[in-house]
Structure 1
Amino acid sequence: MDRLVKHDVKELNIVFTRNQKCSTTFKLTNLMHTMPVAVFVETTNALVLSLTRSYGVIPPLGSVVFTLVCQELDQPLVLATQVIVRSSMLLTGKSDQESLCNLFSKPGKHIFKDGMIPVSFVGSHVIDFLISNHVPKSVDVPLILEKSVPFCDGTELNSLLKSAAMTGKSYLVTFLISAGADVNDRDTERKSVMSLAIESGNLDVVRVIIESGFVIDHLNDRYLHDAASINGVDIMELLCMNYLDIDINSIDSRGRTAMHVAANHGHLEVLDFLTTLGSDASVVDNDGWNPLHHASYKGHVAAVEFLLNSCSYIKNAVTKNGKSPIALAYENDNMELYDMLYLGDVLHKAATIDDVNGINKCLTEGANVNGKDQNGWTALHRAAFKGRIESVKVLLDHGASVDIVDNSGCTPLHRAVEMGYAEVATVLVARGARASIKSLIDHMVFDLDCVKNYRSLVNPLC
């Protein structure tokens, strides 16, 4: 005979509840027909798991129930734990605790090792622990998940799905959905698993949710806004490809579009993506702010530059409080925006009308002497085009680039020659402008006699 008793379970599952005592029971049965059997039961982790009693005497063919108790823990055990069952024939008839203790304290052939019962912690709190924590590689996570799911109800599975989405663990999201979690479940505030997945920034989780049949509520969901706030261009692309009816210009409760959100965070890639899809940069929110107002207020230089290139006239728009983008930039001391939003325009205007004092004032206040407008023109292009010789000289004295090109590939010299301003062209060439007949002809649209008039000017320098 290799054992005296048998246990009624192959493993013990303790439904774990955080910071509460948890327990489970198991039964041992005496296999002897005529003789009582003494038993001793212990655990491999006595600090956490204990038994309401460790010793017992089981009458012939009788049974005894043991209770395994887990102490209050803030997290479950995920490493292997076992209950060990030992037995011995009760030859002396003594069944008091001291006698039983003495019986099992002496090793020998009279002690039978009747079993080792694995102990597993299961339930929703266990899954939540696996979602929220890094566990050792030795832990069989899929096995624990499989064991725990039967002890979770639908509400718990839905809650766990949201937690998994929020932490960006796509394999857990996939498992919970296959286990019965409702991908379209929403909480009392209409928050969905999709919004949490987007907040996590995990593209794989978003893809799993979409492929699992998630349905967008277009009246309430603002997932492009959520993605814009985290610079999630890849997520926005995935949403737009799978939900063709999604509105890129939809507004939230504050009247903001996804472009407002992107501008507020300075997310240039998102602004570029939305503009490509046709998002309108001139839309204002409930406070009368367009995206440029938000970018200017926050001091996002690249975003401001992008928005101005996309829709230049929005720089003159004012909020309901009468504030323009430049006023908001001044308000927050975003000095790097002064040129783009105001000084650049003033400098270009001063160069156009030959206001030398105005040019000097703008440059002193921080205007970029080589700042370009929407056509790529600098102040020097404008001065040359208008034949403003004094403005040309002042701008060059302040470091204006003599060979800078506009969006058409034309330099200030090209513009001066185009309009027939020989004196301006002379100054530009004298200050280092590269001059060639071929270049002038390639870039100008005017009578060739005009070029001939300047042959004597440029030939010596070619």
Structure 2
Amino acid sequence: MDRLVQPDVKEVDLVFKKAQKCASTFRLSNLMHTMAVAVSLTTTNPTAFSFTQPFSIIPPLSSLSYTLVLSRPSDQPPLASPPDVITVRSSMLPTGKAQVDDLRRLFSKPGPHVFRDATIPVNLVGPHVVEFLISHHTQIPETDFFFKKAISGYTGSQLTALLRLAIVNGNANLVTDLIDAGADVNDKNSNGLSMIGLAVRAGRLDVSKILIAYGCEIDHTADRVLHEASATNRVDLMKVLCAAFGDIDVNSVDSDGRTPIHVAAVRGSVEAIRFCLRPGGKADVLDCNGWSPLHYAAAEGHLEAVECLLEGSNGKYVVNNDGKTAFALAVENGHLHLLDVLHLGDKLHRAARVGDVHGMKSCLAQGTNVNGKDLNGWTPLHRAAFKGRIECVKVLLDHGAQVDVADDSGYTPLRCALEAGHVQVASLLIAHGAKANVKSRKDVVSLDFDRFKNHPSLVHPLCHEKERA
């Protein structure tokens, strides 16, 4: 005979409750027909677990109940790796009677008289264990093993509720375990938010991918996943979402009429703005208050976001419902570093075009970028040179204007002046170092000096070099 008693369970499940004494009961049966059996129960963690009856006597063909107790109430379940086990030992007791001290001495001496009848694993289960594992998964070895044990016997609705918690805490393995156990990936919360909406809001890329792989769907009327991702500048999430859901709309609006670009603009999330402005994205959508994304970026002082939005928008002077432009909002909020790009740069260009020297000096005194470019790559010097505003050219040069800067077509201020026939401006530019041949991004500008070589005001060594060549 290899054992004298037999347990009625293969594992003992103990429901753990925070700061409470917890217990679980199981039975042992004596397999002997005519002889009583002495029993000893021990655990691998005696400081955590104990028995109300560690030593006992079971009469022939009888059984007894035993209670495993969590000795020290705690806020944390005493999880161990490897898991704790109960060891059941037995010994034949012909007399059928003995005192506890006698039984203790009987099992303290190893020998053939002591049988090792069973080792029973102890599983800590219950919602408190599950919640602890979800929130502390990075600190607990073999979390996945403990978790599967802890959720055994849970209903589908219980598993689904736990799935939400696991998603927010971001453990991909536990999310997978819960779905495999029966949690509903397409369940929605009271606000109609999907599981993937929770994952995006929590910034969980790996969890989002798992939910997508398990067929999680989004409801475009309730889920604002691109808005959520834009708020945290999570372009990686946005790419995954757009690839998985072909009908997702980068121009969708929330209850306030704001698009994902609006949300990104509020937070200065430039990468998200650029992603949304890919083909189909609109930077000029106005929300319920008449605010464009540019209004929000300007009000918050996000220079890079303002510059990015201006690349895809002509709404610099659009007014909101309060009659304010993006420039006005920047001024109102003290964001002086935005004034150039939102208005003063335009004002400087306009002054250079019409020959308003006083206006130019005023702009430059307020910190306007003297080399700021318009949508075509023209600087104020291009405009002044093309219009022949020689006094404006002088002011710009005195304030550090780049004399050989090329526009998007490769034109320099010197070429603009020459092609418009403004020889005195061309002479002034050459005197300040403008080159006759300037290599730009797109081409090489070769100036036709033959048209001007006999003009008395165009006297420069470069002209004679061209003539001698």
1:75 match: 76
Q: What letter is aligned with 1:132?
A: S
The percent identity for this pair of structures is: 50
- State which of 203, 206, 221 in structure 1 corresponds to 2:205: 203
How does the TM-score come out when normalised to structure 2? Answer: 0.89
| 1:54-453 mapped onto 2 (5 Å cutoff) | 54-70=54-70, 71-76=72-77, 77-79=79-81, 80-90=83-93, 94-106=97-109, 109-135=112-138, 139=142, 141-312=143-314, 314-436=315-437, 450=451
Instruction: Give yes or no for contact 1:410–1:443 (8 Å, CA) kept in 2.
Output: no
Instruction: Give yes or no for contact 2:196–2:217 (8 Å, CA) kept in 1.
Output: no
Can you list the C-alpha shifts for 1:54-99, whole angstroms capped at 9, x where unaligned?
Answer: 2211111211111112353333314221112233333565444344
Mapped to 2, the partners of 1:18 and 1:137 lie a distance apart of 18
| 1:33-72 mapped onto 2 (5 Å cutoff) | 33-70=33-70, 71-72=72-73
Could you tell which deviates more after superposition, 240-249 or 283-292? 240-249
Can you list the C-alpha shifts for 1:255-295, whole angstroms capped at 9, x where unaligned?
Answer: 11111011112122222222213222111112221100111
Q: What letter is aligned with 1:87?
A: S
1:236 Cα shift?
A: 2.0
TM-aligned CA distance change 1:461 to 1:151, over 3 Å: farther
Structure 2 residue matching 1:151: 3-state secondary structure: coil
Can you list the C-alpha shifts for 1:133-171, whole angstroms capped at 9, x where unaligned?
Answer: 2456852x4433443343211122112222232233333
Structure 1 residue matching 2:152: 3-state secondary structure: helix
Instruction: Give yes or no for contact 1:262–1:270 (8 Å, CA) kept in 2.
Output: yes
Structure 2 residue matching 1:57: 3-state secondary structure: strand
Structure 1 residue matching 2:331: 3-state secondary structure: helix
TM-aligned CA distance change 1:239 to 1:438, over 3 Å: closer
Mapped to 2, the partners of 1:331 and 1:54 lie a distance apart of 78
Mapped to 2, the partners of 1:89 and 1:371 lie a distance apart of 99
Mapped to 1, the partners of 2:259 and 2:395 lie a distance apart of 44
Can you list the C-alpha shifts for 1:400-429, whole angstroms capped at 9, x where unaligned?
Answer: 111111122211111111211111111111
Mapped to 2, the partners of 1:438 and 1:198 lie a distance apart of 48
The structure whose residues are more often helix, as a share, is 1
Mapped to 1, the partners of 2:202 and 2:190 lie a distance apart of 21
Structure 2 residue matching 1:276: 3-state secondary structure: coil
Q: What letter is aligned with 1:230?
A: T
CA RMSD of aligned residues (A): 2.8
Mapped to 2, the partners of 1:421 and 1:167 lie a distance apart of 69
Instruction: Give yes or no for contact 1:164–1:173 (8 Å, CA) kept in 2.
Output: yes
Mapped to 2, the partners of 1:81 and 1:263 lie a distance apart of 54
Structure 1 residue matching 2:13: 3-state secondary structure: strand
Mapped to 2, the partners of 1:53 and 1:274 lie a distance apart of 69
Mapped to 2, the partners of 1:123 and 1:234 lie a distance apart of 36
TM-aligned CA distance change 1:206 to 1:451, over 3 Å: farther
Q: What letter is aligned with 2:463?
A: N
TM-aligned CA distance change 1:461 to 1:173, over 3 Å: farther
Q: Which runs of 5+ in 1 are unaligned?
A: none
TM-aligned CA distance change 1:461 to 1:390, over 3 Å: farther
How does the TM-score come out when normalised to structure 1? Answer: 0.90
Mapped to 2, the partners of 1:461 and 1:198 lie a distance apart of 67
Q: What letter is aligned with 2:399?
A: H
Mapped to 2, the partners of 1:142 and 1:169 lie a distance apart of 10
TM-aligned CA distance change 1:162 to 1:438, over 3 Å: closer
Q: Which runs of 5+ in 2 are unaligned?
A: none
Aligned residue pair count: 458
Can you list the C-alpha shifts for 1:11-55, whole angstroms capped at 9, x where unaligned?
Answer: 222233444443322211223322222222122212322222222
Could you tell which deviates more after superposition, 71-80 or 336-345? 71-80
Mapped to 1, the partners of 2:285 and 2:139 lie a distance apart of 51
